[in-house]
Amino acid sequence: MPYKERDIEKQYYSIGEVAAMFDVAPSLIRFWETEFDILKPKKNKKGNRLFSPKDIDNLRFVYHLVKERGYTIQGAREMLKTRGVQAREKFEMIQSLEKVKEFLISIKSQLP
pLDDT in tens, 23-64: 999 999 999 999 999 999 999 999 999 999 999 999 999 999
Q: What is the pLDDT of residue 102?
A: 93
In whole angstroms, give the CA distance from residue 99 to residue 90: 14
Please indicate, yes or no, if residue 108 is contained in any of the structural domains: no
Q: How would you classify the pairing of strands 49-50 and 42-43?
A: antiparallel
CATH number, domain containing residue 17: 1.10.1660.10
Enclosing domain of residue 51: 13-83
Please indicate, yes or no, if residue 76 is contained in any of the structural domains: yes
Percent of the chain with pLDDT over 70: 93
Q: How many domains does the chain have?
A: 1
- pLDDT of 1 > 60? The answer is no
Q: Report, as an integer, the average pLDDT of 83-101.
A: 87
Q: Report, as an integer, the average pLDDT of 69-95.
A: 88
Please indicate, yes or no, if residue 17 is contained in any of the structural domains: yes
Q: What is the pLDDT of residue 7?
A: 64
